[in-house]
Amino acid sequence: MTLKEAKSVAEKREEVLAALKSFGTKIYEQLDSGLFPSIDMPSRSTENIYYDPKLRQFILGDKRIKRSARNIRHLKPFTQLVWAALFSYELTSQRKTSTLRDVYYSAQAYEMSFKDQQESNNIITDLETILGHPREDFNIFPEERSAVFGDLTIRYTVPGYEGKTLNLTSHPDGVMIGPALTSAEFVETSADKVIAIEKGGLFTRFIEENVHKKFNALLVLTAGQAPRATRHFIRRLNRELKLPVYIFTDGDPWGMHIAMVIISGSANAAHLRDLTTPDAKWSGVWATDIVKYKLPTDPLDDIDIKRLHELQRDPRYKEDPLWQREIKTFLKIRRKAEQEAFSRYGLTYIVDEYLPAKLEETK
């Protein structure tokens, strides 16, 4: 089947460019009429972050903050923001990409300086907030990369590869989810599900064991906490291709939260939409699996227990009774298990027994 995105990549690019230009025009016009330019945007302070049960993600409240070039303390970040907008405009219109690290260094060419990487990252986040688009939309990507493998044909839109297609089984290590893949259009797939995996070792094992064929699945490696580009990619697989998403992580509070961020997003990205996949499922490893499959375990550390108590109060974890049940079980058994723990039953046990059972259970 041939697939069509809701919004074409080209359309989205035009939308972002228009937003950047309009931001620039607003500043220009204020200056031209002899005013100190200012801009207001939603506040990202913790008091203004709320959980929206309808959207099933964190959102920003009504509080807005004003940045004015009249205020000496705002002046430098304000200039950095205008610079970042210009830089992003140039990147996007020339269809080039940049990493957050690049942004930090590129500023120096404009005699703009950032104190450190954190300062430049914050400015990019400000720009996201003003535009309402994630940085990937204006071609700024993080360094972290994850991968995808399976029968999905994509069509590149990046310069030099425009129109070229690639099937994501073509490389046995998987294909990196970078700017080119993120901006590609989906052509066709035979898969009927997505399996997201926390760790590289298991991702490789699944490819070796032909999980993609046996289960008709696209395999996504999150490599720990999934980067935004990957979260956005998973969402697209879910929305555009209507594929259910199953997430496998380690059986501990941290693995559980990796799944949660894919499903409901993070507070840090409360100003952004389209990064969540609310229908995705956490398929394992659950605390109850540890008991049920008698997995080799380690004891929970103090920090694990502290984290569990935090998660217990988190609104995202109150959506589905599954979460509270698993948290309670963890706290009861005080043990955790890694995905590799299944190896005690042989290398293929996880693929032959556990995976089909869990896919069925969380369907």
Partner 1 sequence: MTQVTFEEISPADFFYRNRDIAGFTNPSRAVFAAIRELVENSLDAAESIKVPPDIYVRLSFEGEASAETQIYKLRVEDNGTGIPPQYIPSAFGQVLYSSKYKLKQQRGTFGLGGKMALLYGQITTHQPALIISSTGGARIFMYKLMIDIQKNRPIILDRKILLNKDGWRGTIVEFTLEGDYLRAMQKILEYFKQTAMVNPYANLTFVDPKGRLYKFVRATTVMPDPPKETLPHPYGVDVEFLQRIIQVTECDNMLDFLKTHFHRVGDVTAKKFLEFSEISQSKNPKKLSHEEIVRLAQKLKEFKEFLPPEASCLSPLGEELLRTGVLKELKPDFVAVHQRKPATYAGHPFIVEVAIAYGGEIPQRGNFVIYRFANRIPLLYDEASDVSVKVIESINWRRYKITPDMPVAIIVHICSTKVPYKTVGKEFIADRLEVRREIANGIREVARQLQRFLSRREHVDRERKRLGVFGKYLPKIAEFSTKLSGKDKVPDVEKLLRSARKYDVEGG
Which one, 28 or 161, has the nearer CB to partner 1? Answer: 28
- Angle (nearest 5°) at CA 96 between 95 and 100: 135
Q: Binding-site residue total for partner 1 (CB under 8 A)?
A: 28
Min dist. Cβ of residue 75 to partner 1 (A): 5
- Compute the chain's Rg from CA coordinates: 22
DSSP state of 251: B
Min dist. Cβ of residue 273 to partner 1 (A): 24
CB count within 10 Å of CB 92 equals 20
Amino acid residing at 74: H
Closest CA relative to residue 167, chosen from 140, 149, 180: 149
- Say whether residue 37 binds partner 1 (CB under 8 A): yes
Query: For partner 1, which stretch binds (CB under 8 A), given 28-36, 117-125, 216-224, 308-316?
Result: 28-36
> What does 141-193 look like in DSSP terms, one character per residue?
E-S---EEESSEEEE--STTTTT-EEETTSSTT-EE-SHHHHTPEEEEE---E
Residue 134, C-beta contacts closer than 8 angstroms, at least 6 positions apart:
128, 228, 232, 269, 272, 274, 275
Contact, 198 vs 254, CB < 8 A?
Answer: no
Amino acid residing at 196: A
Which one, 76 or 273, has the nearer CB to partner 1? Answer: 76
Which one, 111 or 116, has the nearer CB to partner 1? Answer: 111
Q: Cα(178)–Cα(166) distance, rounded to whole angstroms?
A: 14
- Say whether residue 79 binds partner 1 (CB under 8 A): yes
- Say whether residue 83 binds partner 1 (CB under 8 A): yes
Query: For partner 1, which stretch binds (CB under 8 A), given 49-57, 79-87, 230-238, 336-344?
Result: 79-87
Which one, 8 or 71, has the nearer CB to partner 1? Answer: 71
By CB under 8 A, name the one of 36, 118, 161, 347 that touches partner 1: 36
- Say whether residue 161 binds partner 1 (CB under 8 A): no
Residue 169, both tokens: 């089984």
- Say whether residue 138 binds partner 1 (CB under 8 A): no
By CB under 8 A, name the one of 8, 10, 11, 21 that touches partner 1: 21
Min dist. Cβ of residue 148 to partner 1 (A): 35
Min dist. Cβ of residue 27 to partner 1 (A): 4
Query: For partner 1, which stretch binds (CB under 8 A), given 105-113, 169-177, 312-320, 333-341?
Result: 105-113
By CB under 8 A, name the one of 69, 194, 280, 295 that touches partner 1: 69
Which one, 75 or 322, has the nearer CB to partner 1? Answer: 75
- Say whether residue 324 binds partner 1 (CB under 8 A): no
Q: How many angstroms separate the Cα of 188 from the Cα of each of 104, 214, 216, 350? A: 38, 19, 14, 29
- Say whether residue 111 binds partner 1 (CB under 8 A): yes
Amino acid residing at 118: Q
Helix (H, G, I), strand (E, B) or coil at 302: helix
Q: Could you give the residue numbers annotated as active site?
A: 105
Q: Which residues sit at the interface with partner 1, rule CB under 8 A?
A: 20-21, 23-25, 27-28, 31-32, 34-37, 69-70, 72, 75-76, 78-79, 82-83, 85-86, 89, 110-112
